[in-house]
Amino acid sequence: MQSISPHRPRFQQVADRLRALIAAGELGEHSALPSERGIAEKYGISRMTARRALEALESEGLVYNEDRRGRFVSPRRLNYDVSNMVSFAADAQARGMDLEIELITVKETAADAELAEKLSVDAGEPLHEYTRLFRSNGYAIFLETECVIARRFPDLLDHDLRQSTTRLLERHYGTSARTGDIVIRMRGVRAEEAALMGLAISHPGIELEQVIRDGAGSPFCFGRQIWRGELAEFSARAIVNPENAG
């Protein structure tokens, strides 16, 4: 049965058994795993070792950890097609997915050097900035902060921001998103982000940045999302650039 290696570490063996429980469907999506203390007692290991087993499952994305509440089975991942520049919100609603948007903060700021470059404006340019938390069925998915050029969208913050801003900007200002430049990278969630999403600090996450441009190619919005790593799946379509193929 376990002829793989002479000394498969205990925490791995326990992780294997928990993994098997989940694979067998004994534990459905979002259902609670046994507690660290419970596992320690059941398998005759110390609590710290039990924790290592659970952490192994977390790093696989099989399990997630809510700060001081327990560990739960990760649900199926949510797919976001980044090549098709309809916002996640608009896309999700079109597919009939349950999606709640909570407005966390709103403020008026000014572009720093980095934002100025990304949005092709001068540093100091007034911006609307807002942070929103996206949930599905009550579970946090990602946290997003967007910055839009205030001059182009006066009184934007008077609208209800608990909806797709892509659609909002289209309807009320006639600006539609035509292209986007996207960057994806992995990083742990920061303490404040974790607190807002109810997760333990350093929860694995994926950051997605996008610069959104209008039909004339002018950027008007910069967004940065931090997704729960175990939930995110991004798909994209690639097409050979004819110039390179020539």
Partner DNA sequence: GGTGGGTTCTGGTATATACCAGCCGAAGTT
Partner DNA sequence: AACTTCGGCTGGTATATACCAGAACCCACC
Nearer to DNA, 63 or 156 (CB): 63
Return the residue of 18, 22, 36, 88 that touches DNA, per CB under 7 A: 36
Stretch that binds DNA, among 2-10, 106-114, 154-162, 207-215 (CB under 7 A): 2-10
Considering only 35-43, 100-108, 167-175, 215-223, which stretch makes contact with DNA by CB under 7 A?
35-43
Q: What is residue 66's three-state secondary structure?
A: strand
From residue 207, alpha-carbon distances to 53, 151, 234 in Å are 26, 28, 11
Q: Which is nearer to DNA, 61 or 198 (CB)?
A: 198
Burial environment of residue 7 by CB neighbours within 10 A (0 to 12, 13 to 18, 19 or more): exposed
Residue closer to DNA (CB basis): 16 or 125: 16
Give residue 41's identity as a one-letter amino acid code.
E
Please tell me whether residue 235 binds DNA under the rule CB under 7 A: no
Complex with a copy of itself: residue 135 or 190, whichever CB lies closer: 190
- In eight-state DSSP terms, residue 86 is S
Tell me the β-bridge partners of 110: 126
Amino acid, single-letter form, for residue 27: L
Dist CA 203 CA 189 (whole Å): 5
Q: Rounded to 10 degrees, what is the CA torsion of 165, 168, 173, 174?
A: 100
- Judge whether 101 and 162 are in contact, CB under 8 Å: yes
Residue type, 93: Q
**Residue 20 CB, nearest distance to DNA (Å)?**
18
- Give the number of residues in contact with DNA, rule: CB under 7 A: 30
| Partner from a copy of itself, DNA, none binding residue 246, C-beta < 5-8 Å depending on class | none
Q: Does 201 bind DNA (CB under 7 A)?
A: yes
Q: Judged by CB under 7 A, does residue 200 bind DNA? A: yes
**HSE of 158, CA atoms in CB hemisphere, 13 A:** 5
Q: Which residues bind a copy of itself (CB under 8 A)?
A: 55-56, 59-61, 77, 82-86, 176-188, 201-202, 204-206, 210, 229-230, 232-241, 244-245
Give residues in contact with DNA (CB under 7 A): 6-7, 9-12, 33-38, 44-49, 51-52, 54, 65, 67-71, 198, 200-201
